[in-house]
Amino acid sequence: MRPVNPLFDELRTLATEQRNPATLSIDVAPVDEIVRLINAEDHRVAEAVREELPHIAEAVRIVVRAFRAGNRLFYVGAGTSGRLGILDASECPPTYGVDPDMVQGIIAGGPPAVFRSQEGAEDSEQRGADALVEAGVRPGDVVCGIAASRRTPFVLGAVARARAMGCPTLYVTCTPRSEFTVPVDVAICPVVGPEVIMGSTRMKSGTAQKMVLNMLTTASMIRLGKVYENMMVDLQMTNRKLVERSRRTVMTVTGVDYEEAARVLDSADGHVKTALVMILGEVDAAQARRRLDRASGFVRAAIADQEYVPAD
């Protein structure tokens, strides 16, 4: 008998490569049933992510410490996982007004792989390690590997290089924790069960990964003072929608009318936080900025003219 390829043998046992007994007849199901089956399986994702909340919270603390020290977050993935990392990173600057370098995505195969599959690029650990160096990762930066199956060589190589450099490391995978052996500071392991279509990890696994990445950056930005109440207050007014959202935010929080919100934002150089402190703290722009500096950018503390003391 022909020897079994080690990779074949590994794939055969992965949780992400099992057949889903609920969808064995999906190929002959009517469209209504197909979409019902997909939806039913998607309902499992949020529950799987909920089981990982303590680990996600610990990962957030690591990311926040890095950000406060002037370091960055790098996502590393291949295929769907890599694209999700790039998506999450690309949305941080317009949403929270941060520098594009603060959160970055690295994908196997480089930028072309974002738009067209470069699947063979994921098979080399050395390429992952080299990509990390080429991206300018330095000690203190957080490196988060993303791989539904845990085993992607490109990601493993990048994470190993990061640890050797002294970087905190995270890993987001849909492999059960009991089977996860990669040495990292925090592993996040939502187990979503077999995919609707065997091995199609762009489905439930991808959804789980997107939910986790949303939490990592959103919670981190909240802990950095980028949110007041439940509103984005460090967004950049880079298009008409964001200009109007900024005005609406000022109006909603302070109760002023449209014209007054526009006027104060103009005098605050378009900075929503400054405008809020000006109105609610009854100070001018210069005083509002000084208060925000003293409060480390937290609007609540700046309105009260207090220093910000982090909860954790």
CATH of the domain at 54: 3.40.50.10490
In a domain, 111, yes or no: yes
**Rounded-to-integer distance, Cα 292 and Cα 236, Å:** 17
pTM exceeds cut of 0.85: yes
**Rounded-to-integer distance, Cα 75 and Cα 122, Å:** 14
Q: Tell me the β-bridge partners of 142.
A: 73
In a domain, 6, yes or no: no
Considering 173, 193, 223, which residue would you say is the last residue of a domain? 223
In a domain, 136, yes or no: yes
**Is the distance from CB of 104 to CB of 89 less than 8 angstroms?**
yes
pLDDT beyond 90 at 117: no
Question: Smallest Cα–Cα separation from 169: which of 180, 179, 178, 158?
Answer: 158
* CATH code for position 289: 1.10.8.1080
In a domain, 25, yes or no: no
Residue type, 82: G
Total domains present in the chain = 2
Going by their DSSP bridges, the two strands 227-228 and 142-146 should be labelled as: unpaired
- DSSP helix/strand/coil, 303: helix
106 and 252 assigned to the same domain: no
Catalytic residue IDs = 91, 122
pLDDT, averaged across the chain: 92
pLDDT beyond 80 at 18: yes
**Rounded-to-integer distance, Cα 216 and Cα 84, Å:** 13
244 and 127 assigned to the same domain: no
203 and 75 assigned to the same domain: yes
pLDDT of residue 5: 64
In a domain, 40, yes or no: no
137 and 216 assigned to the same domain: yes
132 and 263 assigned to the same domain: no
In a domain, 132, yes or no: yes
pLDDT of residue 74: 98
pLDDT beyond 60 at 73: yes
Q: Which residues of 18-52 are buried (b: 16+ CB within 10 A; e: fewer)?
A: eebeebeeeeeeeeeeeeebbeebeebbeebbeeb
151 and 284 assigned to the same domain: no
pLDDT of residue 4: 59
In a domain, 88, yes or no: yes
- What is the domain range of residue 155? 48-223
290 and 242 assigned to the same domain: yes
81 and 218 assigned to the same domain: yes
pLDDT of residue 30: 96
Helices 204-223 and 31-50, axial angle in degrees (round to 10): 40
> Which of left, alpha, beta for 282 (phi over 0: left; psi -120 to 50: alpha)?
left
251 and 277 assigned to the same domain: yes
206 and 290 assigned to the same domain: no
- Quick one: CA torsion of 96, 70, 169, 145, rounded to 10 degrees? 40
pLDDT of residue 12: 62
- Grade residue 6 by pLDDT with cuts at 50, 70 and 90: low
Considering 188, 206, 223, which residue would you say is the last residue of a domain? 223
Considering 223, 243, 275, which residue would you say is the last residue of a domain? 223
89 and 151 assigned to the same domain: yes
Question: Smallest Cα–Cα separation from 19: which of 205, 204, 198?
Answer: 198
Task: Tell me which of 236 and 9 has the higher pLDDT.
Answer: 236
**Rounded-to-integer distance, Cα 307 and Cα 297, Å:** 10
In a domain, 186, yes or no: yes
pLDDT of residue 10: 59
pLDDT beyond 60 at 3: no
Share of the chain above pLDDT 70, in %: 95
Report the range of poorest mean pLDDT among 3-12, 178-187, 202-211.
Answer: 3-12
207 and 233 assigned to the same domain: no
Rounded to the nearest 5°, which phi and psi values hold at 150? 75, -20
